[in-house]
Structure 1
Amino acid sequence: MKKRKLKLKPYVLPSLYVLSALLLVTGVYFYGNREVAKPAEDIDYVSDEINGYTVPVIATEQTIMTPYSDTSVTVARDFYDYQSDASLQESALVSYDGVYMQNSGIDYSAANPFAVLAVLDGTVIEVEDTELFGKSVTIQHDNNLISTYQGLTDVKVSKDDKVFQGQTIATSGTSVISQSLGNHVHFELYLNGTVLNPNLAIGKTLKELTTE
Structure 2
Amino acid sequence: MKDEEKQQSASRESRGVRSKVRQWSRKSWFWPAVYLSACAVLLGAYFLIQSPAGTDQAEEDQPFGDEQEWNNASENPGTGEKESVPTAAEDETIQMPVMDEESVDIIGYYYDHDAAAEEQQDALVYYNNMYYQNKGIDIAANDGETFEVTAAATGEVVKAEKDDVLGYVVDVKHPNDIVTSYNSLEDLKVEEGDTITQGSVIGSAGRNVYNSDAGVHAHFEIRMNGEPLNPSDAFHQKLKDVKQPEDGNKESAKEEDTNDEANEEEESSLDEFPIFDGDDEEETDEEETDESDSSDEQDDSAKEEEEE
Taking structure 1 as the reference length, what is the TM-score of the superposition?
0.71
SS of residue paired to 2:103: coil
Match of 2:92 among 62, 65, 84: 62
The answer (yes or no) to whether the contact 2:229–2:244 under 8 Å persists in 1 is no
Residues 1:139 and 2:163 are matched in the alignment: no
Match of 1:99 among 130, 140, 145: 130
Alpha-carbon distance in structure 2 between the residues aligned to 1:46 and 1:134: 32
How many pairs were matched up? 160
Question: Between the two proteins, what is the percent identity of the paired residues?
Answer: 35
Alpha-carbon distance in structure 1 between the residues aligned to 2:171 and 2:70: 23
Structure 1 unpaired stretches of 5+: 1-42, 49-58
Equivalent position of 1:35 in the other structure: none
SS of residue paired to 1:119: coil
SS of residue paired to 1:104: coil
Equivalent position of 2:230 in the other structure: 197
SS of residue paired to 2:237: coil
Equivalent position of 1:166 in the other structure: 199
4+ aligned runs moved over 4 Å, structure 1 = none
The answer (yes or no) to whether the contact 2:224–2:244 under 8 Å persists in 1 is no
- The equivalences for 1:146-165 within 5 A come to 146-165=179-198
Post-superposition Cα deviations, 1:89-144, rounded to whole Å, max 9, x if no partner, equal 10110111111111000000121111101011000001121111011100001111
Displacement after TM superposition at 1:46 (Å): 3.7
Alpha-carbon distance in structure 1 between the residues aligned to 2:113 and 2:168: 28
Q: Letter of the aligned partner of 2:69 in structure 1?
A: Y
Alpha-carbon distance in structure 1 between the residues aligned to 2:240 and 2:180: 16
Equivalent position of 2:106 in the other structure: 75
Equivalent position of 1:56 in the other structure: none
Equivalent position of 1:129 in the other structure: 162
Equivalent position of 1:24 in the other structure: none
Alpha-carbon distance in structure 1 between the residues aligned to 2:99 and 2:115: 27
Match of 1:108 among 123, 139, 142: 139
Displacement after TM superposition at 1:154 (Å): 2.4
Q: Letter of the aligned partner of 2:214 in structure 1?
A: L
Alpha-carbon distance in structure 2 between the residues aligned to 1:128 and 1:211: 28
Alpha-carbon distance in structure 1 between the residues aligned to 2:93 and 2:174: 12
Alpha-carbon distance in structure 1 between the residues aligned to 2:221 and 2:166: 13
Post-superposition Cα deviations, 1:31-70, rounded to whole Å, max 9, x if no partner, equal xxxxxxxxxxxx962469xxxxxxxxxx572100001123
Structure 1 vs Structure 2 CA RMSD: 1.9
Q: Letter of the aligned partner of 1:45 in structure 2?
A: E
More strand by share: 1
Match of 2:115 among 84, 88, 102: 84
SS of residue paired to 2:106: strand
Displacement after TM superposition at 1:211 (Å): 8.6
Taking structure 2 as the reference length, what is the TM-score of the superposition?
0.49
The answer (yes or no) to whether the contact 2:98–2:148 under 8 Å persists in 1 is yes
- The equivalences for 1:36-51 within 5 A come to 45-46=69-70
The answer (yes or no) to whether the contact 2:97–2:150 under 8 Å persists in 1 is yes
Displacement after TM superposition at 1:210 (Å): 4.0
SS of residue paired to 1:199: helix
More helix by share: 2
Q: Letter of the aligned partner of 2:92 in structure 1?
A: Q
